[in-house]
Structure 1
Amino acid sequence: MVFEMLTMCIKPMSFLNLLRRTIHTTMNTTWKFATIFQIYFLVSVLCTDLKKENPFRMSKVNAVWHKGQKVLKEKRLSDLYADLQVQDRREVDLKLRKTEGVDNEGLFEAQVRKEMAVILDRYGLTRHFPGENYSGSPGYQPNENGSLPLNIRDNRLKDLLNKAQIEGFSDAEMSLLHEEMHHHQEKMDEYEQLRAEYEQLEGKIDNSVENIDDQTDTYARMSDVKKEMKAKHKEVQESLKTTEDRVKNPGVHEIFQDPRVYHLWALAQKAEMDENELSSIKTELEHFERRIKKAEYMSGKVRSLEEKLQSGQDVNPADQASWREKADFQNRKVEKYHNDLKLRIQRKFDEL
């Protein structure tokens, strides 16, 4: 029966009709509703995995996901997926409200469109949707504290930001990068102000012999400004190098390194868990990542023994079989733990 349900992933009404018929003939009324919900939830999650090309219900959200898969990498792609999980629900809600005629003034629609615009900006995808009228875009906002969007004027910073947006940077990394770029831009502005003052002082200089004594203060100020410019220029260069190093070495400050674990963490952060729930999930994910490393070590040991055998070296068959058994066992545990965590986090999304 479950297999037949899975074949109906793209036909939810057919699936529900089949489920109702089966439950009606096999179970009393008390448990019918609960069982329908439990089985539907399980199969819907499995269906999502089977339909990875279109994991979301709304076509516009899937379009953003498809583009993100082409231009983003690893952790940044996981962050996008988590944001789109929430956005997909908002888009579905908007569609229902339009159908029921409860958003006549269009206020909710404007809010949903603004939220999509924020996502497109955050991941550098806005330019890929020129035909969409996502108005009210506030620019990239890595923080939720109401800080103003970054106004980058230095082309070198723009290049670094674009690279970071497609290189797999998480929201935490982008937030830190945003802060560093803000400080760098401030240093650049201070340097430009000093240069403008120096040029203004130069314009006041009268090179005639009779006026030299009257311009002592101007020459003294020009000397001071020149020293300040030199020191500020050094600060600007050091600041730029720090920012470049951060973009060239992404992931150094990330909590999780394994893509599977980070993907779950990105989803958990968007599932509106309270502080205790999120802390608990984080602890479990840390344990999960340790399990993954253990399984990878054992799998590596198996590969090493196989390579030795293929190169003609002596390998104890019992040792090889033992390591293969251990590796298979650990990999099964990792897969089971991964599926359990994924289902638990998905349930939190369903509660939103």
Structure 2
Amino acid sequence: MASPRLCPGSRGLLPAPPLLLLLLLLLLVGPRTAAGHGGKYSREKNEPELPPKRESGGEFRMEKLNQLWEKAQRLQLSPVKLSELHADLKMQERDEFAWKKLKAEGLDEDGEKQAKLTRNLSVILAKYGLDGRKDARAVSSNSLSDATEDDSLEDPRLEKLWHKAKTSGKFSSEELDKLWREFQHHQEKVREYHVLLETLSRTEEIQENVISPFDTSRIKEDVLHSKHAELKDRLRGINQGYDRLRRVSHRGYGTQAEFEEPRVIDLWDLAKSANFTEKELESFREELKHFEAKIEKHNHYQKQLEISHQKLKHVESFGDREHVSRNKEKYAMLEEKTKELGYKVRAPGSVWVLLPPLWWLCGLVAPGGVPIAATHPLPRGPALGHPLEPV
């Protein structure tokens, strides 16, 4: 019978298989234990740390828009400005997702729709002071009640007209508020024009320096022509708007004014200059009245939001917990309602979609950046009797 083998260096008899098992266990357990201690050469220490996941319930689905929203809150924009920014960012988000779908289908080969989205975002950044060039707190006042006293107009010509209107004695306080909204609306159009002009200049400079293996000169020419046409239309609208402000500032408001809201006035002036019949104009007038009512409702909630904001700050200074809680609930309700209405009076998918002729007049853009006028040319005899499309 064979004698059992001895392990090398051992002083006693030990079967070989148990020793091998022990060594295997040490090899398996040893590295795992070391890694558990987190040494500097462990996998956990050398692999890059994953970024923290964003908490659910963000305002927007796109991270870059959430970052802009958070930046605006840090800048302490007024509640009204924040609600307007929220509506603009919601529209931008909707258009960006629509563009991604179009791109996946190969419908933006020349990149014009993407460029349109970039220009729109640039306008938003400039409008709310988020482009780093101007403190947003200097763009707008934090109060609605003293807007006519604290806010200033960037254009000296507008400032001169406004001063003349205030001191003329031809306007009541309500009419001065109305006229001020027209001045602000005109100033926003001028700002947007300059942002688009600057964006176009950068685009032309970049395209001149791009070397492409393909002949894309024709596509570039068409794109630039489209952009120049858009700028020309906007400049024409600005000049017409200034002429109107000059007339109103000198003469006052007449008794036959059709509308009061600046955006609706612009649309109505365009409609009257188009080739519409009396019946079509009458139907168009009714649609615009509905639209103006929504804008007025939105303006009302904006004022209530500002009042609630001031009241909440006052209540918080006294520390009455129950009173503060009630005011916070009311403020949150007004904030949500103002955001909702703000989106409705901006979105082409809701109250803006009256009819193809109105799309054409407004120069509106469908989701994805497709100019609606390109697919819906202005008909010579449009039927304007359709009701507003529900949201």
TM value normalised by structure 2 = 0.30
Greater Rg by CA: 2
TM value normalised by structure 1 = 0.33
Structure with greater proportional helix content:
1
